[in-house]
Amino acid sequence: MSNTNSKPGLILFGIDGATFDVIKPAVAAGHLPTVGRLLKEGAHGILKSIIPPVTSPAWTSIMTGVNPGKHGIFEFYTLKEDSYNTRLVSSIDRQTPALWNLLNQYGLRVGVLNVPTTYPPDPIDGWMISGMMGAPTFGKAACFPPELANEIDELGIPYPMERRVRKSARGHYDFAALQRQIDSRSAATLHLLKQRPVDVLIIVCNYTDHVQHNFWHDRSLVTSPGQTIEDMILYAYQQADHFLGQLLNLCGSQTTILVVSDHGAGPLEEHLNLERLLREAGLVVLKSGQRHLSTPGLCLLERIKHTAPQWLRKLAPILWYRKTKTFLEEQKLARIDWQRTRAFNIGTYLGLRLNVVGREPQGCIAPQDYEDQRQQIRSLLEEYRHPDTGAPIFEVYNREELYHGPYVSNAPDLLGIIGEDRVHLVDLLNPHNAPLFTDWQKMKKIAPYRQAGAHRPEGVLIAAGPHVFAHCLATEAQLVDIVPTVLYALGLPIPSYCDGRVLTEVFADDFVDSHPPRYADIAMQRQAEGIEASVYSEQESEQIRQRLRDLGYLD
Ligand SMILES: [Zn+2]
């Protein structure tokens, strides 16, 4: 069944954080010729993200066709076993087959590049280079087959896993590093497509999201003396558009193209010190008589962390950064009185885990009181009002309202959206008595390296190809619809465990009439043989956490 003419039959092209709020005006001004052409020739509409719209679980839902309760990834972080400490999730946490596994089962060869949470890479028929949260450095461990690493190195374009792209306090910005990230992705893809043809190509550009997180409010950047890019966000989209154009040049008229994003984007308005809010609400209780690091002390440490010159970071990344960070995080956990703490937050969005006897290491809520306590905490958050505006802040859900499947019990007990996604949580390191809310302008004065953009639930879907009917889609598609739709476009049966549906409205009526969707009973549990059980060492884990902060995923 494998393709012999070296042109992929389908390209799934991900643009992390892509939003029509940026795309439509840019297309109208003629800045995105390839996307503009696809919008005209194909179908497009909103692709709705999961709640909360976090990159790792969102891409995993796109790539598996199931909700997080089935694939098992809920955040960038998950709790370590029998601990209040967290660890980074990896591809090993994914419990269901991904699109590439399904396509392989159907005899199709697949190329996968830069999809978040694909480290370690799956041993697939085709090739894979891990994406965001990938290997600490590019090399054999990030590639399948491992020899790809040498092949890519020989291209002579360094392949950074991810690069610091934010403005620092001193206005420092490593534009060249960002450009290397952009160039290396396209060079590697074009090379691999030529040398190792595939039937389906799956690729994600994530620099768009990084740039949105960092440049939403102030978009210009001086890249070198006398050179200014007026709109860095537009620049990132143009780079993705150019890359997509290069790929389309390699395709024939029979290739189906799906452009998707894991969530949309918009301005960030405020930062919330959730730790303090939970403490004032009596949910988190500190041990009495604890000595804390003073606020000025923590502020100084944090400022040093963000503003230290690159050479110092390179010279002493472990000694200087890691010890400070680990020390402060441990210090923070150590000062919590777990016997009296009813709920604590995990991750980058609202994700409260109740402290339950027999489930958490030092639980204080009896299992029979769980539902009552959860309802009380939920009501407390729902009734909370912004101290200045009086507006509600939290949109809260019980986990089973959002997710279903065998892994729901691994999720936080209460999840949600804060300030309609316009409010971010401040860093774990934030001093415990820092203000509850800080607006972005004020935060910019205190800490210019803080984020300026945030996620939104409305992502994008653009489809084009031989059977696609050109129009604007009336209903929102869901992330879990992508796997069924990809399989349908390729004439393949859809696993009956998938949560999504075939987006038949994307295709021409006569095609749908003559091609009803087919379903197959395929095992939902992923077969993960050949993948190592342990992924990140403590040191690697810290490097990746730091990278997430640099990229703007954590403040
Ligand atoms: Zn994302």
Q: How much distance in Å is there from the Cα of 269 to the middle of ligand 1?
A: 18
Q: How much distance in Å is there from the Cα of 419 to the middle of ligand 1?
A: 18
Q: How much distance in Å is there from the Cα of 84 to the middle of ligand 1?
A: 26
What pLDDT score was predicted for residue 460? 98
Integer Cα distance of 289 and 282 in angstroms:
17
Can you say how many angstroms the Cα of residue 16 is from the centroid of all Cα atoms in its chain? Answer: 8
Q: How much distance in Å is there from the Cα of 431 to the middle of ligand 1?
A: 28
Q: How much distance in Å is there from the Cα of 463 to the middle of ligand 1?
A: 20
Nearest to 360 by CA among 398, 394, 333: 333
Integer Cα distance of 117 and 130 in angstroms:
7
Q: How much distance in Å is there from the Cα of 245 to the middle of ligand 1?
A: 22
Q: How much distance in Å is there from the Cα of 424 to the middle of ligand 1?
A: 15
What pLDDT score was predicted for residue 425? 86
pTM of the model: 0.90
Q: How much distance in Å is there from the Cα of 371 to the middle of ligand 1?
A: 32
Q: Which residues of 356-366 are buried (b: 16+ CB within 10 A; e: fewer)?
A: beeebeebbbe
Q: How much distance in Å is there from the Cα of 426 to the middle of ligand 1?
A: 18
At which residue do the structure tokens 């480290």 appear? 119
What pLDDT score was predicted for residue 221? 86
Q: How much distance in Å is there from the Cα of 17 to the middle of ligand 1?
A: 5
Q: How much distance in Å is there from the Cα of 59 to the middle of ligand 1?
A: 8
Per the CB < 8 A criterion, the answer to whether 307 and 451 are in contact is: no
What pLDDT score was predicted for residue 451? 79
Q: How much distance in Å is there from the Cα of 225 to the middle of ligand 1?
A: 32
Integer Cα distance of 381 and 281 in angstroms:
9
Q: Give the helix ranges, DSSP H, for 472-537.
A: 482-489, 509-514
What domains sit in the chain, N to C, each tagged with a CATH number? Answer: 10-235+249-267+456-550 (3.40.720.10), 270-286+336-448 (3.30.1360)
Q: How much distance in Å is there from the Cα of 64 to the middle of ligand 1?
A: 16
Q: Coil, helix or strand for 534?
A: coil
- pLDDT by position in tens, the chain (length 555): 444 456 899 999 999 999 999 999 999 999 999 999 999 999 999 999 999 999 999 999 999 999 999 999 999 888 888 889 888 888 999 999 999 999 999 999 999 999 999 998 999 999 999 987 766 678 888 999 999 999 999 998 888 876 555 555 455 567 888 898 899 999 999 999 999 999 999 999 999 998 999 899 989 888 888 888 999 999 999 999 999 999 999 988 889 999 999 999 999 999 898 988 998 999 999 887 655 555 555 556 655 655 665 555 555 444 444 555 556 666 677 788 999 999 999 878 999 999 999 999 999 999 999 999 999 999 999 999 999 999 999 999 999 999 999 999 999 999 999 999 999 887 644 555 678 898 888 877 776 667 789 999 999 999 999 999 989 998 999 999 999 999 999 999 999 999 999 999 999 999 999 999 999 999 999 876 555 545 566 666 666 666 666 655 554
Q: How much distance in Å is there from the Cα of 338 to the middle of ligand 1?
A: 33
| Helix 55-64 × helix 482-489 angle, to 10° | 30
Per the CB < 8 A criterion, the answer to whether 142 and 118 are in contact is: no
Q: How much distance in Å is there from the Cα of 182 to the middle of ligand 1?
A: 16
Cα distances (Å, whole numbers) of residue 448 to 171, 214, 229: 8, 10, 19
- For 314-367, the DSSP string reads HHSIIIIIIHHHHHHHHHHHHTB-GGG--EEE-SSSEEEEE-BBTTBTT--B-G
Tokens of 281: 């609400």
Amino acid at 492: L
Residue 202 backbone phi and psi in degrees, to 5: -125, 120
Q: How much distance in Å is there from the Cα of 218 to the middle of ligand 1?
A: 20
